[in-house]
Chains A and B, each alone.
Chain A
Amino acid sequence: MVSRTARRILSSPDNTAAFARALGTRLHPGDVLLLSGPIGAGKSHFARALIQSLQDTPEDVPSPTFTLVQVYDTRAGELWHADLYRLSDPDQCVELGLTDAFETAICLIEWPDRLTDLTPQNALEMRFSAGQTEKERILTLDWTDPRWNVLLSELAA
């Protein structure tokens, strides 16, 4: 299995949102995005922009930190937005229904390190980190599933 990586500069929150929307239009159920990075790196901002761009009537996208999972109906199918920060055991991910959702829904997962062995092989890892300026973020993408090759090269074009 070939592991690939790509790096992208997100120059501003608007730029992050634009990238989220562009990626969003290409997603379908079974796609899993693992969003990692420290507090304030822009994970939730990215997720919110992506989710709202897939809704005919955009609705509130509250932080899932307390509720663990927020489920949305979108044009592209069911979408799960999860924040695993409060979980202490991968078994809890199974009880949440996450492992089933990996097969049937688009999943955006914050704090995905809690998944450990349950991390899906086909997932796209997205690591957000601080950039040179207050508004800039660096996004590092890692994947092995060839599906992301095409998709990300489209986005890079």
Chain B
Amino acid sequence: MPNSPLILGLESSCDDTAAAVLRGREILSSIVVGQDALHAAFGGVVPEIAARAHAEKLDLAVEQAVAEAGVPLAEIDAIAVTAGPGLIGGVLSGVMTAKGLATALGVPMIGVNHLAGHALTPRLTDDLPYPYLMLLVSGGHCQFLIVRGPDDFTRLGGTIDDAPGEAFDKTARLLGLPQPGGPSVEAEAQEGDSKRFRFPRPLLDRPGCDLSFSGLKTALLRERDRLVAEHGGLHAQDRADLCAGFQAAVRDVLAEKSRRAIALYLGEHADDPAMAVAGGVAANQELRGALQAVCADHGLAFVAPPLRLCTDNAAMIAYAGAELWALGVSHDMTLSARPRWPLDRTAAPLVGSGKKGAKA
């Protein structure tokens, strides 16, 4: 698309600092300055909290993104920037950098919701037509969305406590496996018997698309403690069986809730119905296989954007900005950073607890 505008995207709402240059759906460059090498050592992701640190890296990320794209900065048509939700310091430094660049270049600036960036990624990668169903799993978020446009989302449900990625991380912590928990628990589960431990399937007894994984973690903890007390330690096979049982429970919950979300989504009468799964869930073969099967049962195409575009990046922000700009959206210098910014402002909140028996 040679006539599509050239968009510079900035993202600094959480741990990583990123910049990207896009023309249409073509990613000319996508730079992510993270701290991946340090993550494992701290049993999780070490956050970059300081606005100053983000600001320093943003300059370099922009410089590198523009250089790699092979376009002069002066040819950028618009700046898209994450304006929330996220840690205020990081978001603020992104917004301030965008304001400076937009002013200096004399181009429009578009404030983008970080989650909208994730939710629109299937359009960037696969040109998925609206409306589609999205299982968005990113950082602490996990929600089912119907995506009808760059600013038109309906939330069908989401996790009322931990996100699946968090449940995998905490399972790894409880069983002495390395972080991040997704890959290490999956590898361990391959050696295990998923039927030996029957873990709960939280919220399956209740209607709706809400998810809960906190009780599962507690059940796993109990089982681990029982095994340790019985055998004076945790044997390798026990650990593998725990992982397999845990993963099977997550799989069953995600599959059943997806079935319910699909039933609601089919009411949209999409010409080419599709479900997109973004995030670590799609990287887990067991979970991915279950979701693919559910989609096939209901005649939905299954789309999973590559993982590098599902983790935080600026290409998705540039893309979402481009779609919004095409609708006439742009922001002036009053654009402010929003630490909290739900995608669907009309959706009923998730009240109550995932624990069995708790009331709203």
Contact = CB atoms under 8 A, between A and B. Distances in A.
A22 to B, nearest CB: 15
Interface of B: 14, 42, 44-47, 49-50, 85-89, 139-141, 158-163, 166, 169-170, 173-174, 214, 217-218, 221-222, 339-340, 342, 349-351, 353, 355-360
A13 B360 CA distance: 12
B49 A14 contact: no
A2 to B, nearest CB: 35
A59 to B, nearest CB: 4
A5 B356 CA distance: 30
Interface in A83-101: 85-88, 92, 95-97
A119 B14 CA distance: 25
Interface stretch (A27-35, A62-70, A102-110, A144-152): A62-70
Contacts of A117: none
Nearest to A65: B166
Contacts of A12: 357
Nearest to A71: B339
Contact of B49 (A13, A38, A39, A95): A95
Contacts, number: 105
Given A60-B160, A86-B47, A67 B140 contact: yes
Given A57-B349, A63-B166, A44 B49 contact: no
Interface residues of A, number: 36
Contacts of A64: 140
A85 B359 contact: no
A96 B359 contact: no
Contacts of A65: 44, 140, 162, 166, 169
7 contacts: A13-B356, A14-B357, A17-B359, A40-B218, A67-B14, A67-B87, A95-B89
B351 A58 contact: yes
A68 B49 contact: yes
A146 to B, nearest CB: 33
